[in-house]
Amino acid sequence: MTEGASTALLTDMYELTMLDAALESGRAGRMSVFEAFARRLPGGRRYGVVAGTGRVLEAIEKFHFGTEEIDYLAGIGIVSDTTLEWLANYHFSGDIYGYAEGECYFPHSPILTVTGTFADTCMLETLILSILNHDSAVATAASRMTASARERPCLEFGARRTHESAAIHAARAAVISGFMGTSDVEAGRTYGLNIAGTSAHSFTLLHESEEEAFAAQIATMGAGTTLLVDTYDIPRGVERAVAAARGAGGELGAVRIDSGDLIAQAFTVRKQLDDLGATTTKITVTSDLDEFSIAALGAAPVDSYGVGTKLVTGSGYPTAEMVYKLVAREGDDGQMHEVAKASSNKKSVGGLKVAGRVRDEKGHSAQELIVSAQSWEDGLAYLDRSGARPLQHKLVSGGEVNQEFVGKEAIAAAAKRHDASRAELPYDGWRLSRGEPAVPTKLVDIFEGDD
Amino acid sequence: MTEGASTALLTDMYELTMLDAALESGRAGRMSVFEAFARRLPGGRRYGVVAGTGRVLEAIEKFHFGTEEIDYLAGIGIVSDTTLEWLANYHFSGDIYGYAEGECYFPHSPILTVTGTFADTCMLETLILSILNHDSAVATAASRMTASARERPCLEFGARRTHESAAIHAARAAVISGFMGTSDVEAGRTYGLNIAGTSAHSFTLLHESEEEAFAAQIATMGAGTTLLVDTYDIPRGVERAVAAARGAGGELGAVRIDSGDLIAQAFTVRKQLDDLGATTTKITVTSDLDEFSIAALGAAPVDSYGVGTKLVTGSGYPTAEMVYKLVAREGDDGQMHEVAKASSNKKSVGGLKVAGRVRDEKGHSAQELIVSAQSWEDGLAYLDRSGARPLQHKLVSGGEVNQEFVGKEAIAAAAKRHDASRAELPYDGWRLSRGEPAVPTKLVDIFEGDD
């Protein structure tokens, strides 16, 4: 694609001008702690789902300023030659701690904590937020859909309604939140996801008749395929679909309905299929579904859901609204100091934070315990005394990415993790209505610094 | 990036299985006409803005199945060896007509018309829709913002709130709709856009004091820079900002306010700047702006707007909801026949369509005239008789892309085209409230085929 192999320019210009000024002022080397978190859950959702962490780690490995990047920056003259030289030698050498993909999160959960020099850590802001905000928004919507679908499979069909590269990663995020597969072929190749799909209305319209189209599809895909039955008239479509499969010596795998009143049609089509003896033929539906319509279809005889637009656009909330804030940095005394923006309506909580989830006696998540601490060890000791499950993992050590959290295998692990994390939520976590987070956040400051 | 240089797998799986079945049924070679259009304007917008066309053309040039793509498809076994061989030799060899980027559009405007064999044309569905739906959604939101901002410059700052690749193309779409630049450095490199940005709160917090931070920024960026004044206390921030610039022998370029009640603050800060004699120092604001808040700031002494989240997410409507439908195809008689899905709530209008815009006596757009015709010539003759300005351009001829519509130069032309197209809209086009399209669509069927 146009952006090339380096991820280094996927950034806001001000990261570069800040670096330039900080190198000049002598403050660029101050040890710093940046934190990515969400102040709120958009849309009054009850929980969020972390996704994109593995992609962040892969992107950091490719965050290098090569000749082409340096040449471009030199040409536009926004930073000094000293800074260009610094950039040419840059690779992230700090540490990153964070929530693993699939974990549920709540307001102020410290989803990603990046430590290193200011120069090292400030550079990654835009890229980290782009990835986490997109992928977590999709994963959060996807989780509400799979929760509403219960045991019925959900498939991701939204590529056409979102940016072509975003589509790949929307599919990845959906699978983390329990989707069984995707229509996006590139997502299949890149991440080893299951891909799915059979035909569109155009295929039926291309042929002289619905019968001819169905026979053609079965000839290559077999009787077990899914036939789209709503191009002309649904009852006739269903009849022809079943007949086409039987003509090829089999029973039809499924019919797909893509328009109209899906609930009423599901009952009508199920009855027709049963009356025709096609009791094993399944029904899949695919028309502008979201978590609410999936829930409403719960009592209808539907076997699977294909979800498009609403999934890839976060079902009304296309960004997770995470921010990346400097929460602590070294002072002239060589000690770390909590810092936070003071003015107006955007208050931040300062300091390095260690997070754990406290369960109640029934095993449900009861509290997101976030500890402002001087060190990881202090924070973890506090969590241990509180009986909280630690939520952060060491994702990067001295610039080296922990390979457990990247690549294809990490996606299956994330899906499993999400299933467990969601299962632990209290009843409120499963509510689709707007409201308070399912698990309250408690912030404890055990920071001992003399700020 | 992970997807590599070929765009061929940025597609839904069913395009491939349909091709496979159509090659087998002998219908893949039927001449076909596909059309990309929107049934409605999401959000009750008064007009849409076409964007992404140039990207579609570039993506089609890279739509080739190389060894890696063929190997992946062979491995998952979803199509026959014959189909794999066909794919290995595929390059689009049909024609594409369409609206140029920047043009306003309305429901049923035939934004992109793709003609060729079914195999040739069906393959491009997902990729075309992904690009047009994303880019046009952003351009449409962006146009409402620049219209509300009137003469004041708007800057695109949303990279962190959308997918990292989508961010590049959101910036491109924003510039087509009148934005002056972007914070996204990769968008600057890829498309030659102006890039902008100075510093974040973290830069101020990194330093021992606001004074030290301001001095550091001015040392590298000069007194003409924009200082962010709301990290601690705005009045003190403004005072220090002006003093810092004067300390360096200049007058401050601008202050940026990123939180709080922007309208009230703009008046207060302007008065303070004027009282300090800093009458040339400008005010830029950047906190969760959308077209409505920009309009509300119209009477406040603000000089420019930085827009993030709401821009890149289409201000509530992140997809343009365009569809790609087979509207005509060859029959056994060798003639072209109109086709359209008949069932339920998703009716399409069949046939090849030629579109023009009719102006009233004052020069305002009065009608989107869409003619269902047997040929381009017939349709254009009808438009000519109606005094309508033809809206479609020949974008691809026999697989060859018209280079006028791709690359960096095409973006400036698109921005100019948008400015003119929007200026032509009647008064209703400028209304932000939900309502009917500003220009009514008239569909005329002069199709002579014996369907």
Q: State mean pLDDT over B329-341.
A: 92
User: B316: which residues sit within 8 A by CB, 6+ positions away?
Assistant: B43, B310
Is the same domain home to B192 and B307?
Answer: yes
C-beta atoms of A183 and B313 within 8 A:
no
In a domain, A342, yes or no: yes
A168 token code pair: 């790949």
Kindly state whether residues A76 and A128 are assigned to the same domain. yes
Q: What is the CATH number of the domain that holds B19?
A: 3.20.140.10
**Chain A, window 70-109: residues with a beta carbon less than 8 angstroms from a chain B beta carbon:** 72-73, 76, 78-80
B227 falls in which pLDDT band (50, 70, 90)? very high
Structure tokens given for A309: 């637009």
Q: A226 Cβ partners below 8 Å, 6+ apart?
A: A198, A253, A254, A255, A256, A282, A284
Of B32, B199, B259, the CB nearest to A18: B199
Give the CA distances from residue A380 to residues A369, A387, B64, in Å, rounded to whole numbers and listed in that order. 11, 10, 52
Quote the CA–CA distance of B126 and B13 in Å, as a whole number: 10
Domain housing A337 = 13-139+317-445
What's the domain count of chain A? Answer: 2
The reported pTM is: 0.97
CA distance B136 to chain A (A): 11
Q: Give the confidence band of B205 by pLDDT, cuts at 50, 70, 90.
A: very high
Whether B220 and B239 map to the same domain: the answer is yes
Structure tokens at B435: 């309502």
Q: Rounded to an integer, what distance in angstroms lies between the CA atom of residue B285 and that of residue B304?
A: 7
Contact residues, B window 123-182, toward A, CB-based 8 Å cutoff: 125-127, 129-131, 133-134, 157, 159-169
CB contact under 8 A, A231 and B126: no
Is there a domain that residue B26 lies in? Answer: yes
Both A350 and A220 in a single domain?
no
**What number is the ipTM of this complex?**
0.96
pLDDT digits (tens, 9 = 90+) for A47-92: 999 999 999 999 999 999 999 999 999 999 999 999 999 999 999 9
Q: Per the domain annotation, does A331 fall within a domain?
A: yes
Beta bridge partners of A290: none
- Output the pLDDT for position A351: 86
Q: pLDDT tens for residues B253-265?
A: 999 999 889 999 9
Q: Helix, strand or coil for residue A249?
A: coil
Q: Which of B12, B68, B81, B86 to mutate to test the interface with A (most CBs of A within 10 A)?
A: B12
Per-residue pLDDT tens over the stretch A221-258: 999 999 999 999 999 999 999 999 999 999 999 999 99
The answer on B353 and B308 residing in a single domain is no
Distance from CA of B363 to the nearest CA of A (A): 35
A-contacting residues in B 16-35 (Cβ below 8 Å): 16-18, 20-22, 24-25, 27, 30, 32, 34
* pLDDT at residue A451 in the model: 38
Are B166 and A324 an interchain contact pair (Cβ–Cβ within 8 Å)?
A: no
Contact residues, A window 375-434, toward B, CB-based 8 Å cutoff:
none
A422-444 pLDDT, tens digit each: 999 999 999 999 999 999 999 99
- Write out chain B residues lying below 8 Å of A199, CB-based: 14, 17-18, 21
**Residue ending a domain, choose from B296, B316, B336:** B316
Q: What is the C-alpha radius of gyration for chain A, rounded to an integer number of angstroms?
A: 25
Rounded (5°) CA angle B424-B425-B426? 120
Q: What's the whole-number mean pLDDT along residues B125-147?
A: 98
Q: Flag whether residue B329 sits within 8 Å of chain A, measured between CB atoms.
A: yes
The answer to whether residue B4 is domain-embedded is no
> In this structure, is residue B58 part of a structural domain?
yes
Q: Which of B70, B123, B160 to mutate to test the interface with A (most CBs of A within 10 A)?
A: B160
Of A3, A162, A198, the CB nearest to B1: A3
- Cβ atoms < 10 Å from Cβ of A320: 29
The string of pLDDT tens digits covering residues A327-368 is 999 999 999 999 987 654 555 567 899 999 999 999 999 999
Chain A, chain B: beta-carbon pairs less than 8 Å apart: 361
B89 HSE (CA, 13 A, CB side): 6
CB A246 within 8 A of CB A273: no
Digit-coded pLDDT (tens) for A3-40? 448 999 999 999 999 999 999 999 999 999 999 999 99
Q: What is the pLDDT of residues B15-53, one digit of tens each?
A: 999 999 999 999 999 999 999 999 999 999 999 999 999
Average pLDDT in chain A: 95
Contact status of A117 with chain B (Cβ, < 8 Å):
no
What does the pLDDT read at residue B97? 98
Tens-place pLDDT, residues A111-154: 999 999 999 999 999 999 999 999 999 999 999 999 999 999 99
Q: Is A321 within the bounds of a domain?
A: yes
Q: Which residues of A touch B17 (CB under 8 A)?
A: 197-199, 217, 220-221
Q: Are strands B254-257 and B226-228 parallel, antiparallel or unpaired?
A: parallel
Alpha carbon distance, N-terminus to C-terminus of chain A: 47
Chain A nearest CA to B190, separation (Å) = 7
DSSP-assigned letter for residue A398: T
* B184/A258 Cβ within 8 A: no
Separation CA A370–CA A391 (nearest Å): 10
Do residues A296 and A327 share a domain? no
Same domain for B131 and B38? yes
Co-location of B290 and B312 in the same domain: yes
Q: Which of B316, B344, B362 is the last residue of a domain?
A: B316
Q: How open is the CA angle B266-B272-B274, to the nearest 5 degrees?
A: 100
Q: Is residue A2 a part of any domain in this protein?
A: no
- Do B33 and B111 belong to one domain? yes
Is there a domain that residue B437 lies in?
yes
Q: H or E segment at A139?
A: helix A125-149
Residue B124 and residue B183 share a domain: no
CATH number of the domain encompassing residue A167: 3.20.20.70
Please tell me the predicted confidence (pLDDT) of residue A5: 84
- Is residue B209 less than 8 Å (CB to CB) from chain A? no
Partnered with residue A207 across adjacent β-strands are none
Burial of B279 (C-beta count, 10 Å sphere; 0-12/13-18/19+):
exposed
Does residue B451 register a pLDDT over 80?
Answer: no
Q: Classify A436 as helix, strand or coil.
A: coil
pLDDT for B398 beyond 60: yes
Q: What is the mean pLDDT of residues B393-399?
A: 98
Question: What is the distance between the alpha carbons of residues B4 and A1, in angstroms, rounded to a whole number?
Answer: 6
Evaluate if residue B170 carries a pLDDT over 80: yes
A164 with A280, same domain?
Answer: yes
**For residue range B279-322, what is the model confidence (pLDDT) as tens digits?**
999 999 998 999 999 999 999 999 999 999 999 999 999 999 99
Strands in B254-257's sheet, in edge-to-edge order, are B181-182, B154-156, B304-307, B282-285, B254-257, B226-228
Domain end among B271, B298, B316 = B316
Which has the minimum average pLDDT: A260-274, B163-177, B336-350? B336-350
Who among B183, B200, B332 is closest to A208 (CB)? B332
Check whether residue B61 and residue B90 sit in a common domain.
yes
For residue A181, give the 3-state DSSP assignment.
strand
Mean pLDDT of chain B: 95
